[in-house]
Amino acid sequence: MEKLTPQFSTIKGSPGFWRHESRKLWSTVCSPIMQKPTFLMTLSAADTFWIDFMANALPEKTDGEISGMTRTQRNDILAENPDLAVSHFYHSWTALWDEIINGESKPLGQVEDFFSRIEFQARGSPHVHMMLWIQDAPECSGLSDGPLPNVLRAFIDFKLSTNISPAMAELDMSSLRHLCTVRTPVATPGDKYFDAHVQSLARVAQVHECTEYGSDTKRRTACRFGFPQELQHESVVQTVFRHNKTKKVISTQRNHPRVNAYNPSILGCWAGNMDIQCLVDAYGAAVYTASYV
């Protein structure tokens, strides 16, 4: 067995393979001569709400009929079509990566390198964890608490958002059609219909709701993810205590206490929950990502 174990490191998906990938990720991040990763991004599947998946699973139903289905009915359809759900996720993810993130608009900038891992969560839903290296990104390491340098602040405020329009934030969404069941407008950022769609998605998919899973039982706090967060008039560096660790983070300009950070172009096309952070502690992010590997 001792002789066989190293051989399995070449077989993708084996424990040996992922141990090798973890070491490679750590050595890349810790290298003194290489650029540090810029963003840590996660993307969650909205399996039971994606209109395209439901339309493929139920070709005889209209969009209106699908949007009126109950949560139990949606869960049943998902349970009956696991192969279709995984296939749809794969095509959605590859299309987002090829046509949006690396497409003409490049909403995050020119991606020089990346490391990604798709995790299947306890309920079976796929979840992307990704570190991205962006060409010519401003340096984020070594920052002290307080306002960001002008170049870095402009870079972050253009790429990331934790804002929701006031009208949308005050709207009661409980009686409205879930926005993940609405097809994305054929438009580009800057178009009023696309921007309204993004704001609607931010309201239903990005507002964090504290649950038992998110509670920090050791510290007996309401949320281990740090919500609700303080409102910020401008993006700043802060020292925070999260996940039982003290670390520095970039807190983006924020007008809502519970919004997960998002990129408008990616959110508008993905139509599901996402989170994206500009990395101050690249090694900590590598440890976090490798734990899923």
Using 50, 70 and 90 to split pLDDT, how confident is the model at 171? Answer: low
Q: What is the pLDDT of residue 172?
A: 66
Q: What is the pLDDT of residue 159?
A: 94
Which whole number is the average pLDDT over 74-103? 92
Q: What is the pLDDT of residue 175?
A: 53
Tokens 């704001």 appear where? 199
Please report how many Cα atoms fall inside a 13 Å half-sphere around the Cα of residue 237, on the Cβ side. Answer: 19
Cα(38)–Cα(141) distance, rounded to whole angstroms?
A: 10
Q: What is the pLDDT of residues 179-202, one digit of tens each?
A: 555 667 666 666 788 888 888 888
Q: What is the pLDDT of residue 265?
A: 92
Which whole number is the average pLDDT over 203-213? 76
Q: What is the pLDDT of residue 122?
A: 66
Q: What is the pLDDT of residues 244-260, one digit of tens each?
A: 677 788 889 998 888 99
Q: What is the pLDDT of residue 177?
A: 53
Chain mean pLDDT for the chain: 82
Query: 6-10, 126-130, 227-231: lowest mean pLDDT where?
Result: 6-10
Local structure of 96: helix, strand or coil? helix
Q: What is the pLDDT of residue 270?
A: 92
Cα(270)–Cα(247) distance, rounded to whole angstroms?
A: 30
Which whole number is the average pLDDT over 151-174? 83
Question: 56: Cβ–Cβ under 8 A, 6 or more apart, which residues?
Answer: 84, 88
Domain layout of the chain by residue ranges: 41-292
Cα(132)–Cα(114) distance, rounded to whole angstroms?
A: 4
Radius of gyration in angstroms for the set of CA atoms belonging to the chain, rounded to a whole number: 20
> 288 pLDDT exceeds 80?
no
> 215 pLDDT exceeds 60?
no
Question: 3: Cβ–Cβ under 8 A, 6 or more apart, which residues?
Answer: none
